[in-house]
Structure 1
Amino acid sequence: MASDPDAALMLAFQGGDERAFRTLFDRHGRAMVRFCHHYVKDDARAEELAQDVFLKVHRSAARYQPTARFKTWLYRIASNHCLNELRRGEYAAREPARADGVPSEPADLDALPGGATTPEEAAMGQALAGAVEGLLARLPEKQRAAFVLCRLEGLSYEEIAEVLETSVSAVKSLLHRATVAAAEALAPWSGPEKEVRP
Structure 2
Amino acid sequence: MASRHLDEESIFHTARKIAHPAAQAEYLEQICAGDQSLYERVKSLLEVEQQETNFLKSHNVSQFTSNESLVAEQPGQQIGRYKLLQKIGEGGFGVVYMADQQRPVRRKVALKIIKPGMDTQSVIARFEAERQALAMMDDPNIARVLDGGETESGRPYFVMELVKGLPITEYCDKNELSTTERLALFKVVCDAVQH
> Smaller-chain TM-score range?
under 0.3
- With the length of structure 1 as denominator, give the TM-score of the two structures: 0.27
The structure whose residues are more often strand, as a share, is 2
Normalising by the residue count of structure 2, what TM-score does the alignment of the two structures yield? 0.28
When Rg is computed on C-alpha atoms for both structures, the one with the higher figure is 2
